[in-house]
Amino acid sequence: MFVVCGEALWDLFAEQTSDDLIFRARIGGSPFNVAVGLARLGVDAALMTGLSTDRLGARLDAVLAHEGVSRDLLQRVPDRTTLSLVDIAGDGGPSYVFYGDGAADRAVVAVPEFGAPVWGVHMGSFSLMVQPVGDALLAMAAREAGRRLVTLDPNVRLNVVPDTGIWRARITAFAAHADLIKVSAEDLGLLWPGADPADIAQRWRSGGAALVIITHGGDGAEAFGAFGHVRVPGRRVQVVDTVGAGDSFMAALIAGLAARGARTRAALVALTDAEALLAEAARAAAITCGRRGADLPRKADLAQV
């Protein structure tokens, strides 16, 4: 079982008509997407988050049940469900405005101990930053470091917490406990403008991470580990939008590690086919880019491309 920790919300996609601005709702939240993506790829997954008892929360819970994601770690609370307004640019890139102050996914004050079947835990996005859930996740990361595989995706959202200094400090704190860090070059540019991404990757590796992966959108991805440095090109696809592409990449990474039996930090250190792993994750991300919203691929989808 792989536990994914963080927000669960509804993305409201804006569509302008001649007379009205219409919003179409889709499930979202980076950690929610990763948990669903893992289940679709055949990995036993659970979501740990605060989930509202309101009707929107009930619908999110129903989706998790339908997708086969374990709900045993959900913390049901009466706080409202987070909403995210999404506007898609001409190149398929999304912009977000979040309405989540006092929402259910921020209400987590402590993460319970995990049972023996859990071999890894993932954290990411703005849940790392907001309180009280941010401190609860940091305490959990410190607790699980060295016990289970810990993965991290900063997935920066400056419109939730606009202070880049706070993001840098928090990501640095989380990175100290992570075995695998996946981050986009775009996020690195926001937090460390002008810095060489390779230098940041090596800094995180010196701090304890066994594997650091930097994604470059349509230009592919690169990985830094005990094997050295590898890079794979992006895959050509007719882009509908890029919502969920990074989450798809992350889910495919974890699923790829699971398929290889690489479920420990030692296995990451011994990894010898990082290039193939990146190519698999890039293929999953490309599929998602060809679909509307965070519609992550299943095993059968990956076999067809």
Whole-angstrom Cα distance, residue 261 to residue 73? Answer: 25
Residue 93: which domain range? 2-303
Write the pLDDT tens digit of every residue in 108-126: 999 999 999 999 999 999 9
How many other CB atoms are there within 10 angstroms of residue 206's CB atom?
8
Q: What's the confidence (pLDDT) of residue 91?
A: 66
Distances (CA, A) of 76 to 54, 56, 70, 103, 166: 10, 12, 14, 11, 29
Per-residue model confidence (pLDDT) at position 238: 85
Question: What does pLDDT average to over the chain?
Answer: 94
- Residues 130-159 have pLDDT tens digits of 999 999 999 999 999 999 999 999 999 999
Closest among 125, 84, 74 to 104, alpha carbons compared: 74
Amino acid in the structure at residue 117: P
**E strands, the chain, where?**
2-5, 9-16, 21-28, 45-48, 50-52, 75-77, 82-88, 94-99, 120-124, 149-153, 180-184, 211-215, 221-225, 228-232
Number of domains in the chain: 1
Q: Tokens for 50?
A: 């605060």
**Does residue 194 register a pLDDT over 70?**
yes
Dist CA 69 CA 71 (whole Å): 6
Mean pLDDT in residue range 195-202: 96
- The pLDDT tens digits of the residues spanning 264-290 come to 999 999 999 999 999 999 999 999 999
pLDDT exceeds cutoff 90 at 89? no
Q: Give the residue with greater pLDDT, 8 vs 293.
A: 8
Helix or strand or coil: residue 133? helix
Check which CATH number belongs to the domain holding 266 and give it.
3.40.1190.20
pLDDT score, position 16 = 79
CA–CA gap between residue 226 and residue 292 (Å, rounded): 37
Instruction: Name the pairing type of β-strands 94-99 and 180-184.
Output: unpaired
Query: Would you say 79 and 50 are in contact if contact means Cβ atoms under 8 Å apart?
Result: yes
Residue 18: per-residue pLDDT: 76
Question: What is residue 92's predicted lDDT score, i.e. its pLDDT?
Answer: 65
Q: How would residue 38 be classed by pLDDT, with cut points 50, 70 and 90?
A: very high
Give me the pLDDT at residue 165, please.
Answer: 97
CB 123 within 8 A of CB 47: no
The confidence score (pLDDT) of residue 106 equals 98
Q: What is the share, in percent, of the chain residues with pLDDT greater than 70?
A: 98
The pLDDT confidence band at residue 90, using thresholds 50, 70 and 90, is: low
> Which tens digits make up the pLDDT trace of 219-270?
999 999 999 999 999 888 888 888 889 999 999 999 999 999 999 999 999 9
What are the start-end ranges of the E strands in 45-158?
Answer: 45-48, 50-52, 75-77, 82-88, 94-99, 120-124, 149-153
pLDDT, position 305: 59
55-73: pLDDT as tens digits: 999 999 999 999 999 999 9
Mean pLDDT on 20-25: 86
Cα–Cα dist 121/114, whole Å: 10
Q: What is the pLDDT of residue 41?
A: 98
Q: Is pLDDT of 190 > 80? A: yes
